[in-house]
Amino acid sequence: MLRVRGLRKSFGSLEVLKNIDLDVNKGDVVAILGPSGSGKTTFLRCLNFLETADAGSYTLDGKTYTLGRTSRKEIAEIRRKTAFVFQNFNLFSNMTALQNVTEGLITARKMKRYQAEEIGRMALDKVGMSERAGYYPHQLSGGQQQRVAIARALATNPEIIFFDEPTSALDPELTGEVLNVMRQLAGEGMTMLVVTHEIAFARHVSNRVIFMDEGVVLESGESRGFFEAPGEKRVREFLRALEKRDV
């Protein structure tokens, strides 16, 4: 469904992504792990064109785009099929939960308000937030805000959702409610690419894992085999350190 070949990105003289390949099939939940600074966020942002990659090819639904030379129209076409969930929720503080979910539908997708609200309420219901539809972000906990952000992503009916550390800004007791929503989406067959440090999520919910280090994919594979016997020493050390931190 999504196929990336040879993605490269530099910031000035700093080469952050060096020739990354990725294949995501429909219904896949792919976890991206790796140390800080390895390029995970930059990679995800390039995939949703929040950042412009320098080179590579990008195939979505059988249509191939040349990275670094994508037109506005092509980017808009891709964005209609993808959604992004940020680490810090990125909700509009002056809008209610429902307005945050419907805003893009009304302005970018030219949907009628009543229709956008119907879809918005369904999306909020899906993440267990329908009771809070009229609340502003400051009246919601971090976990609730992130669930609204997930509802906003769902409301656009995306083929794939990119998540950048969706629970890392949350207190530990709030991460569970967000991970539960993501687990439920995975069970319904939603295709997701998730940068995370939640080993339990990567192990039990994702079906594939990609480990990035210094701008390259150091190791990737089916989740089960990956955690049972990582081949790379660097990966084993990283997983051991994370597991220690979790205890």
Ligand X SMILES: Nc1ncnc2c1ncn2[C@@H]1O[C@H](COP(=O)(O)OP(=O)(O)OP(=O)(O)O)[C@@H](O)[C@H]1O
Residue ranges in contact with ligand X by CB under 6 A: 11, 14, 16, 34, 36-42
Contacting residues toward Mg ion, per CB under 5 A: 41
Measured distance CA(139)–CA(94) in Å, rounded: 11
Minimal distance in Å, beta carbon 14 to ligand X? 6
Look up residue 18 and give its two tokens: 């060096």
CB 152 within 8 A of CB 119: no
Backbone phi and psi for residue 44, each to the nearest 5 degrees, phi listed first: -60, -40
CA distance 60 to 54: 18
**Whose Cβ is closer to ligand X: residue 137's or residue 215's?**
215
Q: Structure tokens of 191?
A: 């295709």
39 interface partner picked from Mg ion, ligand X, none, CB below 5 to 8 A per type: ligand X
* Position with the least CB separation from Mg ion: 41
Please state the closest distance from residue 209 (CB atom) to ligand X, in A.
15
Residue 199 near residue 226, CB atoms below 8 Å: no
CB nearer Mg ion, residue 41 or residue 196: 41
Residue closer to Mg ion, measured from CB, 44 or 97: 44
Smallest separation (angstroms) from ligand X to the CB of 242? 12
- Two tokens, residue 153: 């992503």
Nearer to ligand X, 39 or 120 (CB): 39
